[in-house]
Structure 1
């Protein structure tokens, strides 16, 4: 805590600290999109953001800190969870959101860089786990609504249904290297829904 009672790095919202944070985060995402985690360099982030590299080193420590901060910020952002009126439509929408996140020409390289960072850094891995936990919690509402409508058994674990639905995408993207498209996403959603309806995920 500082003398003013504010935590360092969060003083004067909207002031210089906030502007520096936003500039460095934007530069980090741009560098990840262009060069991946392996090519993420403090000097490049500093040059792109207009923030002196000593400030970047002092506040973020290194590439791992930059990635962790970007993930923590992303976890706090709202996610456009679908509300189609049915468990089938909602689950399909959630899985397609994940698919788009990895295949979008602009956001896809960043999403892949986050996963690559987590494989190489414990700090990034912890931040990615926090990001996934936040996303699962946000998306679990589609399962809660389905339970309330009587489409799924009481006690169905919403986060587990979401994990089951998106897992095939991650397997193809990061393990087997098999193609991933909307048909794959829809099958994954259908399989998770079938398991939930059968009471497997309670």
Structure 2
């Protein structure tokens, strides 16, 4: 007799407990300190079950990213593309500035640089976030703020790239004014036909 998995059953509870434990461990210890043993203790799930399902820290991070990619994010609706882009860039800046958000985001990016499975999960995660964010560009096109030829994905990438560059490459302080400048530069590029 074949056993059927029930949505929301034990499997979902185990996955949620392991994911939550992974996020707490990453926040407290970073990616380098993430271990299956600590996630097992924190989640109450036996470590052999974690090894069997997730394989190791890379699999834990990849799964957490996979789940996060399905979660909706708040999309600003200020009435203008300039306002929406500024709100998006500020949300990313503020997220990385917070102790938990910064630790988790940094750990996920670090994992993606060290492991192919985590890298693929990170690409899917950022693509999902970008897809959600492109609605601000679609609304701007409908309002007549931009021509329909503008590439929404590229506009969102262009707006966020300076933020990630300062956080992960130059390690420079990042202010709300810097986030505003990134949004405004992306909008200027779109209006100039660069994107």
TM normalised by structure 1 equals 0.94
- Is 1:63 equivalent to 2:57 in the alignment? yes
1:35-50 aligned at under 5 Å gives the runs 35-50=29-44
1:138 corresponds in structure 2 to: 132
Counterpart selection for 1:87 from 81, 84, 103:
81
Structure 1, unpaired ranges of 5+: none
1:3 CA displacement: 3.0
Cα distance between partner residues in 2 of 1:161 and 1:58: 41
Q: For the residues of structure 1 that align with 2:46 and 2:106, how far apart are their CA atoms? A: 27
Instruction: State the 1:106 CA deviation.
Output: 2.0
Q: Distance in 2 between matches of 1:113 and 1:86?
A: 34
Q: Gaps (5+ residues) in structure 2?
A: none
From 177, 190, 193, the equivalent of 2:187 is: 193
Runs of 4+ in 1 over 6 A off after TM superposition: none
Deviation, structure 1 residue 119: 1.1
Q: Tell me how many residue pairs correspond in the alignment.
A: 195
How far apart, CA to CA, are the structure 1 residues paired with 2:138 and 2:60?
35
Aligned to 1:16: 10
> So what's the TM-score if we normalise by structure 2?
0.97
Cα-Cα RMSD: 1.1
Q: What corresponds to 1:159 in structure 2?
A: 153
